[in-house]
Amino acid sequence: MSEVINPQLQAWARDYVWRVGSKVGPLSDSRQRKLLAVHLDGVPKSQLDEAVRTGWMPFLSRLVTSGAYALDDAFWGSPASTPFFQAGFLYGLRHPNLPAYSWFDRELGRKVQMNTPTDTLAVESRLGCRSGTSLLSGGGHTYFSLFQAEANNRLCMSTLASYKVMARSFKYEMEGILTARTQTPLSYVRSLGRDAWNSFTEIYRWGRALQDWRHEGGFLMSRVLLQRLGWSFAHTKALVDMVRGVPAVYLVYGNYDEVAHRRGPCSTQALSELQRVDAYLAELYAVAQAVQPGYDLIFFTDHGHVDSHPIEQRGGQRLEDILLRGAPVPLPEDITRALLDGRPQPVDTGLHAPSEPVVVESGNFSHVYLTREREPLEAVQLVARYPEVLARAMGHPDIGIVALRRGDSAVAIIGGGVYGPEEIDSAPLDGEFSRRAVADFLRELPLMPTAGDLVLYGQAVSRGGTVGFAWEFGSHGGLTRTETNSLICWPTHLPVDLSGLSHVTQLHERLSELYRDGARPVERPEERWAEAT
């Protein structure tokens, strides 16, 4: 361990464990292998590779170059977004029907957003997972995840939907927090005030220079409440959990992702968050080694981020106007033939409900719902009823890929041609896109009825950058190599190999086998409350 962290940090960790352990009682869980999984939300693998090579993130660099940890590429499947990843990681769901972070939900009949607790709760409740299948079953804790996933605590997005649940769990969540603090209250308040002021001045300069203030108020609240107060609390609670012996802890570090959306993945603000998390990881590692039995610290990214060039800024129009209100454009005959795939030319009889299109700008990709019907449209219906929308989408220079269902499968319109998943290698894709990811998404689309009738992807416009449909300057969820090439880092002494993973469910299966299967369940806090009342 001395090759990775210095003697001062080791001494701090031993003292910390003793101090917190003397005030907070241990759990009765008897598992000998315990897990701390740290999710670095949205961090591109290329940035972490560079940090290891240059020592720019010193702890991460020492961890890998010392040989204590292995670091490998990972492909988690499509789409490259947090809801899809967490459903696979926590529950082992290969086809969770989660098309983005925000979409129009055909079943609910409205747009849903995964940072809205009631929406997240509704989505999690219909995932249909059997009890005991979550990676956190049997006493695990989660911090800042979207889904509760049978965790014993209540600090995730879906549990925020109920004030009653949060109030009942308040005492449990606060247990040990005062004893475990790493700063005095006064120094913490000073630090928080300084961060808040710096955030305010930066946001003021940004909005004034851009002459656009959308999202900036929410970004300021996120910087202060979520990225400073929230993360500090979650980090401290994870340290306490290890001292107590919680069998599995899942900690989501979302600061980089939040900043990258608003300022870009290579901005000074985003890169400073990586240096910040490097120091946090060092503390987590030191305590993970100091407690007995120790914790296996594993960390990973769920997707990368690319520079996003808003289409509205480029051409003065939002995507909805381009698709639905543009000049009449005929659909080329060769595209029509390819989409029909030998089926007869359709005729629009008009015997259907009036359409109420919804265009959801999900970043550098977009889900386009041309009707609000419960079942998505496929190629024959689109050719018959919405040929001009198809023509505008495939002909716009800022739209690189148009994906849609064709019968029981799916195809992509790329560069004036139609390609199925087995034909993507011959498509004229820009080099920034991942052919593997495009093919994978086309295989997934027929299994994802919540996805739009059309799914559009912004064209690559620079090295590591694409056109974005939302007003943001860093995006993910698209099909570029940067977005879909993820990373996993784990201790070399683990009795499981985490290299060469080609889907997030493989990670779930291997970790469940090591840390959950055969483990004795831990009493849930609500069971204690029920007994007490």
Report how far residue 411's alpha carbon sits from residue 135's, in angstroms, rounded to the nearest whole number.
Answer: 34
What DSSP character marks residue 520? P
Task: Say how many residues make up the chain.
Answer: 533
Res 530: pLDDT:
39
Report how far residue 489's alpha carbon sits from residue 498's, in angstroms, rounded to the nearest whole number.
Answer: 8
What is the amino acid identity at position 100?
A: A
301 has pLDDT over 50: yes
Report how far residue 43's alpha carbon sits from residue 491's, in angstroms, rounded to the nearest whole number.
Answer: 20
Report how far residue 187's alpha carbon sits from residue 178's, in angstroms, rounded to the nearest whole number.
Answer: 14
Q: Look at the alpha carbons of 131, 137, 139, 140 in this order and tell me if their dihedral is positive or negative.
A: negative
For 513, the 3-state DSSP assignment is helix
Burial of 449 (0-12, 13-18, 19+ CB in 10 A): middle
For 26, the 3-state DSSP assignment is coil
Please tell me which residue, 195 or 92, carries the higher pLDDT value. Answer: 92
pLDDT category, 4, cuts 50, 70, 90? confident
**Mean pLDDT on 374-391:** 95
Q: Which two tokens stand for residue 386?
A: 């919405």
Res 228: pLDDT:
72
**Mean pLDDT on 432-439:** 97
Report how far residue 45's alpha carbon sits from residue 449's, in angstroms, rounded to the nearest whole number.
Answer: 30
**Residue pair 104/116 in contact by the 8 Å Cβ criterion:** no
**Mean pLDDT on 155-184:** 74
Q: pLDDT exceeding 70 applies to what percent of the chain?
A: 91
Residue 479: name the closest of 446, 506, 440 by CA: 440
Which CA distances in Å does 466 have to 259, 306, 389, 505? 18, 7, 22, 28
255: left (phi over 0), alpha (psi -120 to 50) or beta: alpha
**Residue pair 368/299 in contact by the 8 Å Cβ criterion:** no
328 has pLDDT over 90: no
Res 178: pLDDT:
67
Strands of the sheet with 486-491, listed across from one edge: 69-74, 486-491, 295-301, 34-40, 248-253, 141-145, 155-156
- pTM exceeds 0.85: yes
Res 102: pLDDT:
96
**Superfamily for domain range 7-304+485-532:** Alkaline Phosphatase, subunit A (3.40.720.10)
Q: What is the mean pLDDT of the chain?
A: 89
Residue 376: name the closest of 18, 38, 106, 60 by CA: 106
**Residue pair 324/359 in contact by the 8 Å Cβ criterion:** yes
Q: What are phi and psi of 455, to 5 degrees?
A: -125, 115
Q: Which two tokens stand for residue 13?
A: 């960790």
- The residue written with tokens 């759990």 in the block is 27
pLDDT category, 172, cuts 50, 70, 90? confident
Res 188: pLDDT:
63
Res 167: pLDDT:
73
| Domain range list for the chain | 7-304+485-532, 309-481
Q: In the Cβ-directed half-sphere of 156, how many Cα atoms lie within 13 Å?
A: 28
**Mean pLDDT on 509-516:** 93
What DSSP character marks residue 529? H
Report how far residue 159's alpha carbon sits from residue 142's, in angstroms, rounded to the nearest whole number.
Answer: 11
**Mean pLDDT on 94-99:** 96
Report how far residue 365's alpha carbon sits from residue 251's, in angstroms, rounded to the nearest whole number.
Answer: 27
The least confident of 54-68, 377-391, 517-531 is: 517-531
Res 185: pLDDT:
65
- Strands in 436-515 per DSSP E: 454-458, 460-462, 465-468, 474-475, 486-491
Each residue's pLDDT tens digit, 199-210 = 778 887 878 887
3-class SS letters over 300-356: EECCCCEEEEEHHHHHCCCHHHHHHCCCCCCCCHHHHHHHHCCCCCCCCCCCCCCCC
